Amino acid sequence: MRRYVLTGAPGAGKTTLAHALRRRGWSVVAEAATDVIAAEQARGVAEPWRGPGFLDAVASLQRRRREEARTPGPQIHDRAPLCTLALARYLGRPVGAVLAAEITRALRTGAYQRPAFLVEPLGFVRRTAVRSIGYAESLAFARVHEEVYRAHGHQLIAVPPGPVELRVALVQAHLERLADLPADRCEGGPDPSYLT
């Protein structure tokens, strides 16, 4: 199974890109954090990302969605456990047991391909009920994502800002090229520095 990740800061257009790829016939696994936030807010928790179990809840949902996605051919994942690690670092929060286990499992088994798509900021961020980050913060958060993925052996393919159609065409061209290459998986154990 080849799984490719869309990563980057909130508001960069990853989910819009993921939906467009799905419409073109690609298998897409939905992002988890937004759904965790929405579910908690529906229960009356205004800022669930401040809760102690938030990061582990996101990692658990990411794992469940990865395991349930059984379509043949390449899969595009709207975020992965390393994105949740980037969030932990950005928020200055410790890595919980569930998230640590997910990162270790993903790196040891090569769950995600080394090439990952870094969706670059659009030049603005639209705030929503589940996204309170501003544009300046999103740029800093994007840098954390880039640092985390590079530190764990991923090759980042930049998806620059632009119309959705151009971004989709760029990602699709890379996916088609990557499909012709031998599997390039993340092999070996994780870099233990992710726990610090």
Tell me the two tokens of residue 123.
């030049």
Report the distance separating Cα 101 and Cα 104, nearest Å. Answer: 5
- The H or E element spanning position 75 is strand 75-78
Give the separation between CA 161 and CA 18, rounded to whole angstroms. 15
Cα distances (Å, whole numbers) of residue 83 to 24, 78, 111, 139, 147: 25, 10, 14, 15, 11
Predicted pLDDT of residue 188: 33
Q: What pTM was estimated for this model as a whole?
A: 0.86
- Write out the DSSP string of 116-140: EEEE---S----BTTB---HHHHHH
CATH for the stretch 3-183: 3.40.50.300
- What is the predicted pLDDT for the residue at 131? 66
- pLDDT at position 182: 59
Tens-place pLDDT, residues 132-188: 677 788 888 899 999 999 999 999 999 999 999 999 999 999 999 988 765 543 333
Which residues in the chain come in under a pLDDT of 70?
A: 128-132, 181-196
**Rounded to whole angstroms, how far apart are CA atoms 51 and 160?**
33
